Amino acid sequence: MRLFAAADAIGAPLAGLVNNAGVSGGFSRLEDLSGSVLHHVLAVNVAGAMLCAREAIRRMSTKHGKLGGTIVNVSSIAAKLGSAGEWIHYAASKGAIDTLTIGLAREVAAEGIRVNAVAPGLIDTDFHAAAGAPDRLGQMAPDIPMARAGTPEEVADAILWLMSEQASYVTGAIVPVGGGR
């Protein structure tokens, strides 16, 4: 956990973590999914988030004499939709992030740590192109109630709000940022 060792070296208390690492594993029906791809998606999207949250808790929990803090996990609307025929493996990993968010929020609330998630929908990044569908934004946007893809800034604004004092009584929430999808 070099990230946390580097943060420790700075000497300032850790106040927050945004768990934003994630891979899609590419498009695949479940019956065609290789075990190695599944293991990679779960390792990055689930185990990685859990291990980072563990390290953040050790550095933020009032139980350990720290000041508390905020964790925001990045989930996906895919967890709710299931992503049948495309990337059930990715959707399942983000469903695990939703469960982690709810359970961990309850586990550490009394220790001064709030845990929430944002669940982006179709966002205008290179994520879909990297997964092998460069035209996906244009194809899917008409089916979104707001008729467009979201922006990374819109997702970041939701994360910033969840980390702010304006959300001081919010924990265990999964905030959809998906244009009504």
Is 169 one of the catalytic residues? no
Task: Give me the catalytic one of 90, 94, 150, 162.
Answer: 90
**Rounded to an integer, what distance in angstroms lies between the CA atom of residue 24 and that of residue 159?**
21
Q: Which residues are catalytic?
A: 90
